[in-house]
Structure 1
Amino acid sequence: MSIQSSMQALTERYPPSMKRISEIVVARPQVVLELTITELAKLCQTSEATIVRFARTLGFAGYAALKLQMAAELAAETAQLGADSSYGSDIAPTDSLAETVAKISGSELFGIRETAASLDLDTLQRVIDAVAGAQRTLAFGVAASNMGARDLREKLLRVGRVALGFTDAHDAISSASLLGADDVVIGFSHSGQTREVCELLRVARAGGAVTVAITNAPESPVTRDADLTLLTSVRETTFRSGAMASRIAQLTIVDYVFVGVARTSYESSVEALRTSRESLARLRGER
């Protein structure tokens, strides 16, 4: 995960002094390149020692190492997206329609790339194996995150898997409480804070089901009762918060899981897709 995505994912978990640093740097990452540690500390109304501790939460020895890596990261983003486009930058009221389209498309494409590049393939394989061997798979998320859950359920149904999906949290949690060791429960929460999804995974795990969290926030509440965690890597902004960038990244992971499961029984999956498509032929006017 990039420095900027890591900061955004961790912001809500930081104490107030570090949260101020994170919010300022996420809003304008170039500030790290432009300011000394003393200047940044003054801007963030904190101490140089806190700046160093902040850098260490991101895996760096200190501010100098953070600055060096940030310079490389911003240069790479400029090379891929162009000098006039900033990944994760917000939509401004003065932006033209063309600029708005460029910002959204560039950010979503980069989010998919970053999610793929940072994905733990061993964990992904374990999720695929669990779903492939499951008697039932329950997928659930709240609001925009329910789109990913619904998409996974529908894809699994198309290849003959038993998949459950709900729009009501009470229905989802009560159903999860009845699942066991032969079942898988997958919770979607971009923020990692969604109470309903946390409770879903807690109840499912207590009953013995394999639990999976799909989130943008490592070590967040939603991961506490997850046997396996798949991380997206996107940066949300005012207009895209919890609705666009996160949704695209979640759907990307859904595709990875679905194709992986389908490949475990390739011939039967292809036949199931053909059969289910033909069952709808009359409705499409093909017969």
Structure 2
Amino acid sequence: MSHTKGGLVILKEMVNSLPPSERKIAEYILENPEESILLTALMLGERSKTSSAAVIRLCKSLGFSGFQELKIRVAGDLQKQSVTEYRDIEPNEGFKNIIDKVTTNTIQTLKETADILSENNLKQAVQELAKAASIIFIGVGASYIAAKDAEQKFLRINKNAYSFSDVHMAATSIANKGPGDVVVGISFSGETEEVAKLLKLAKRKHTTTISITKYGNSSVSNHSDIQLHTSAAKEAMLRSGATSSRIAQLQVIDILFMCLASVQYNETVQHLDETREAISFLER
């Protein structure tokens, strides 16, 4: 994935949660992206009626190394031929239009997630998963779909993996974990109280914690050692919290799985062959 894109996506996601001066700068960049990438921090502060110090604070709030990274990532977004907005369905709309809209929204979500997913954080997560004695995936509601999918994938390559949506069962399992184990908390909003509490419990047990949430600080990400982010998936109201956000979570799970499979290629191929043979045996 590229570290030269995703600036506008992150700005759109974070703008309403920023302090007033930083919000003014973010809004200015979103309204004038082509101009903003040509400015210095001082000039941008003047144009947005703030200051260069506020520009630097904004970059820190967004999780960037500095103003140069922000400009590079916005410039990368501008190189795209077009940025498609999420589209909602209409009453009694033609099925062909709905097919096109859902497909467009899904593609947009996948692209945005690829743009904002940190390669460095991904490497750290894969390293921890590769050596983990056990892996627990936690998700509530729609996020449990991603947790269950992860369990199924990682079991196929002989990882000691479990998924939970029941808080008490998850807490019971985490209670017996420690260093060498990994707990992955999945929450689109990052504010799912049960997931945050379970990650907090895991950290008390000195277990490595990984979060998969939308971009930005959140209760869940704040209790994780490694943060992985998905697109904000801001398609409109009828998504019911479980369409593009779910696709983004499954995308990150697939990326984790494929990266781990690449790192442990020979072992992975052997385990996949054995699991295929087991299923084939049952079907004879």
TM-score by length of 2: 0.75
Q: 2:159 aligns with which of 138, 157, 161?
A: 161
Per-residue deviation, 1:117: 2.1
Contiguous gaps of at least 5 residues in structure 1:
26-30, 34-47, 60-64
Q: 1:1-287 alignment to 2 at 5 Å? A: 2=6, 5-6=9-10, 9-10=13-14, 13=17, 32=31, 57=58, 76=80, 79-80=81-82, 86-93=84-91, 95-237=93-235, 238-284=237-283, 287=284
Q: Secondary structure at the match of 1:180?
A: coil
Letter in 2 for 1:247: R
Per-residue deviation, 1:105: 0.6
Could you say which residue in structure 2 is the equivalent of 1:42? Answer: none
Maintained 8 Å contact 1:176/1:203: yes
Letter in 1 for 2:125: V
Pair 1:269–1:248, CA change in 2 (3 A)? same
Maintained 8 Å contact 1:185/1:209: yes
Count of residue pairs brought into register by the alignment: 253
Distance 2:78 2:239 in 1: 21
Letter in 1 for 2:14: L
Per-residue deviation, 1:5: 3.9
Distance 2:143 2:181 in 1: 21
Distance 2:58 2:102 in 1: 29
Per-residue deviation, 1:6: 3.0
Letter in 2 for 1:271: Q
Could you say which residue in structure 1 is the equivalent of 2:65? Answer: none
Per-residue deviation, 1:111: 1.3
Distance 1:235 1:246 in 2: 6
Maintained 8 Å contact 1:190/1:217: no
Deviates more, 1:170-179 or 1:136-145: 170-179
Pair 1:49–1:94, CA change in 2 (3 A)? farther
Distance 1:217 1:266 in 2: 30
Q: CA RMSD in A?
A: 3.6
Moved over 6 A (4+): none
Maintained 8 Å contact 1:187/1:214: yes
Distance 2:173 2:151 in 1: 15
Deviates more, 1:198-207 or 1:98-107: 98-107
Maintained 8 Å contact 1:236/1:242: no
Distance 2:78 2:238 in 1: 22
CA deviation string 1:37-94 (max 9, x = no partner): xxxxxxxxxxx979xx89x8587xxxxx99xx69x96894xx457xxxx422222326
Distance 1:139 1:207 in 2: 16
Maintained 8 Å contact 1:202/1:225: yes
Distance 1:11 1:93 in 2: 31
Contiguous gaps of at least 5 residues in structure 2:
33-47, 63-69
Maintained 8 Å contact 1:9/1:191: no
CA deviation string 1:184-242 (max 9, x = no partner): 00000110110011011100011000000001132111111110000111423312242
Pair 1:265–1:74, CA change in 2 (3 A)? closer
Pair 1:73–1:247, CA change in 2 (3 A)? same
Maintained 8 Å contact 1:8/1:235: no
Per-residue deviation, 1:103: 1.5
Distance 1:103 1:183 in 2: 41
Maintained 8 Å contact 1:5/1:235: no
Distance 2:112 2:220 in 1: 21
Pair 1:127–1:167, CA change in 2 (3 A)? same
